[in-house]
Structure 1
Amino acid sequence: METSLDPQEGVDKLRRTRAPDEDALTDGVHILTTVLLIAALAGSVNLPFGEAALNLLLCSGFAVLYFYGSAMQPEWREGTGLAWLASLTLLWVLAMAISPVSIYLLFPLLFLYLRVMDDVRGVVAVLAATTSSVLIQFPTGLTVGGVMGPAVSAAVVLAIHYAFRTLVRISREREELIDQLMATRTQLAETERAAGVAEERQRLAHEIHDTVAQGLSSIQMLLHSAERDLLNLGLDERQLAGPTRFIELARTTAKDNLGEARAMIAALQPASLSETSLENALGRIAAGFAAAGELNIEVSVEGNGRQLPMRTEAALLRIAQGAVGNVAKHAGASRCRVTVTYEPDEVRLDVVDNGRGFDPSEVAGRPSGLGHIGLDAMRRRAAEQGGSLEVESTPGYGTAVSVAIPLPAETGGGVKLEETQCEESEREGI
């Protein structure tokens, strides 16, 4: 049965987790401890038999407890680790009382204090153990070396511990930064791919509209003209039955194919424009960004609103989406206004906010991709329609993005004029 982890146990386990960078330090301490244990065991040679046997027993117990605990301590709760340290300290004190050489085992103990108690308690334990190693020398006579040895050892251990902790922290921060960069790179690749797919869909929609759809509309109009001229020849119904039947069949086929082409165009163009007007599509975009944050976005139309060419409406929609997205993500604004202005020869889109603003000259001076890729994309979309994009901003006083796209002189329905003519012809019975 799976058991849930106690919250405090989880904290203790997280605190005890070692970074890979500490393996080298741990291995070095193990080697040093082995050398010092051999030296402590060798000190038994000059001791009486009973004391030598007891020293061998204490050093062996210290060795077994040290290496066993070093392997198991990361899995222990904090209380078990503290008990392990207390046991090692007791064996060390007893060994020092028998053989002065055992004082050198202080060095690995100091590392263990800081490893198990990685806070102020570890520092206090280091100072206490160092003081104890000095005080235990009083019966045999205290020397300068007897004081400096433990004190220097404590200072060196503290310095090494601090240095390794700093290196581990820097290493983890670097790993987190690399992970963030990789995640950003992946997100950017997905965004670029999505933008490329959308752009290709738009290109296909434009190509279908400008070739297949307009060609089929022209065929219908030409067939209507041919039928009208044929009726004016004065032929009787029997003579007209065959030609008019084939003309009607051709018109029906062209009409069906034109419907399919329009369905393909509607499927390829932006979904927000497929069944609604530009104003309503902008309203939905504004509502989405406004709902995502504390931002009031108003959409208004000035002039005589009318149906624009499909590619113009799509470009205006994408530019507005990018501009409002920048306001929501970066401007820190509380209000934003989106205005579409229809004029006889052009359409203009203005996105104004009361955010923190920025220095356009400073942004323009950056290499491409460092913070203004959205503006570059909006400028390209405007340029593809023969228009221009201007950005006015001052730090602390908001930002205004203005796009102006010229319209053909015959735009009363833009490039959809042929479709409108065809629909009128169909209503007339063509």
Structure 2
Amino acid sequence: MIKEHAADERTLGAWQQRLDRAAGLLGYVALLVATALALLVPVPTARSARVTLPAAAAALLWLLLRSALDRRPGPDGRARYGGAHFLGLLAVTTVLVLDNPIYGFFAFTGYLHASRYLEERARVVGTAAAAVPTTLAQTGGVLPTSGTQAGGFLAVLAFNLVVVGILLALSEVADRLSRRRKEANAELAEANRLLTEMLAENAGLHAQLLVQAREAGAADERRRLAREMHDTVAQGLAGIVTQLQAADQAREQHAPAKQWQRHLDSAAALARESLTQARRAVHALRPLELERAALPEALAELVEQWRERNSAAAGLTVTGEARPLHPEVEVTLLRIAQESLANAAKYARASRIGLTLSYMPDLVTLDVRDDGVGFDPAAEPASRATGGGYGLTVMRRRAERLAGRLDLETEPGAGTTVSATLPAISTEE
């Protein structure tokens, strides 16, 4: 739209220039035609050529002088000496008309010059004055000498003034529309400039947003990898250390080779599983347990593995109607279960642990309870140095990322319960 307005403005400007050139040439053509007719066509009231030709030459020189001045506009862009030019043109035109009324062909150029070279207020007076030589030409080129002639002259002059008034009114309307169009185009150009600046600014902001998005994505990926490494490699290494310590203890107690070999086999299995999980975490893949089975089955397998490695009773209870949930929800519940079981193995010294997975219409909960030694929640910062506090923090952040929550209930000698509550987002959402 902006380009269309600019094109229209250029078109109108070109037409205005053509009209100005045509108006300038029209004065020369009218003077030439009137002079030729004055010399070729006898008019009873005309005077001799000795008056006609010098007066026509003076008019021609006056027009040429005006053309020369038009090529050098004033500092404000307006025509120089517009009032003086018009008065001179009006005088020489009156002389020509009184000499030969046929110069009425040239007299109408006074209207054009009044409109072009006079200011708004002077333009009305100048246009009315230009009607005088035109009226003289229409009434025979002689000054009225009687009341009847004066009445006829004034009647014709009045008619000319009415016509001129109508033309002036139309010209004023056209000028006003032209000014409004120019103002609208100026406002449009300013809006275009502001729009260009805004687009440039938006491009800069877009570039900044891209940089910030990349940085935020990199930071989020680092946090994701930190969580996954803690839930896979760190837990796996802790389990390997536990199994190796158990094997070493069994060997020191001269237990059968089959017993401590079992711990070594468990350590090797944990190492392979941790390596697999680490590779999947790097590629942002779902845990292998959830690739092979649904969440309840994956938790059951996790509980069974924990029971075998820790020689303690463990079980899983599922309540409600089990159904597929959003992958993020299932991964979060699985990781919280893994972390809770790992913490129970490292710190709780529990003889029994139970997991309860509950499906509700809008929520899904996972409760992990053990009958271990428990701890004082107020002392959690102290346990952070041993690694236990960080695991609780990771579990809590995982739950909060999905608009859920994680609750911890424990006290020394009374066991520990970890409860995770998440929105039951289905796979279709």
Higher relative contact order at CA 8 Å, sep ≥6: structure 1 or structure 2? 1
The structure that has the greater radius of gyration is 2
TM-score by length of 2: 0.43
TM-score by length of 1: 0.43
